Amino acid sequence: MEKRRIGSLEVSLVGLGCNNFGARLDAEATARVAHAALDAGINFFDTADIYGKTKSEEYLGRALAERRDEVVLATKFGMEVDEHRKGARPEYIRQAVEDSLQRLATDRIDLYQLHRPDPEVPIADTLGALDELVRAGKVREIGCSNFSVAQLQEAEAASGGARFVSVQNEYSMIKREPERDGVLAECERLNLAFLPYFPLASGLLSGKYRLGQPVPERGRLTEERFAGHRSEANLRLVEALIRFAEARGHTILELAFTWLAARPVVASVIAGATSVEQIHQNAGAANWKLSDDELVEVEGILSTPR
């Protein structure tokens, strides 16, 4: 599989989002999916301390015990684990990294990411604590998530040692805010890797949701808070994208991946998986490269009023 860079790290173009581990998947199922990913050429695993109420890190640590050196391991801190474990204060960061290292059963985290901005803590203080971790060898690179252009610029100006090398925001053919709000352009300017999460628009681009067909019983889009994704306009767009992909012998899922991968600033397309079959589908999506003419045609489909 093609590799791209996140700072000094070399990662697979398709990454594995680990938010299902410890939630929808137990330890045994986590190991099956994790090993299938490695066997398929996926080496970038992205988790967080809050996933599965800390079980994602724990199960992942067990699963990777014999294969740790094959993985570029990313995790996050900052969202609320409980009342006392949250935020980006330096003293909490020092605790959070030790907790994650223990759960992951490793001596280093390859990419340690601030899960969201903490308005109560100066970013310089957060970066200072993260720089200590890098110099101590506990963390190789640092990144951020859910940051705006202004927040990226503030962090860059405040960095005196280790600097953010990546930003992870939501981005897909349906959710294109990073283009409109300038984050993609700022990543190019600052030489930051961009990591899109929810590349399948919470399942809308998976091919499971079709116009005029019953909604599947399971899946994120069955939740009330995502009901808006299943609007008739969005489903009409999905049908058009399916026609485009199938005319070329591909699936809409593959199109969702390759469309993101066509942006050089994107380092790895992070997608979750709950089965070995999904791993194979995701990994295979990296093999399709859109031509310039195809990208123009897809843009025409996406720009059609709906």
CA neighbours within 13 Å on the CB side: how many for 137? Answer: 2
CA angle 208, 212, 217 (to 5 degrees): 45
In the residue annotation, 197 being an active-site residue is answered as no
Q: Which of helix, strand or coil describes residue 168?
A: strand
DSSP string of 51-110? GGGGHHHHHHHHHTTTTGGG-EEEEEE-S-SSSSS-S--HHHHHHHHHHHHHHHT-S-EE
Read off the tokens for 148. Answer: 């705006």
AA identity, residue 279? I
Q: Residue 142: beta bridge partners?
A: 112, 164
Rounded Cα distance between 39 and 280, Å, is 10
Eight-class DSSP state of 291? -
Per annotation, catalytic residue among 51, 112, 197, 209: 51
Catalytically annotated residues: 51
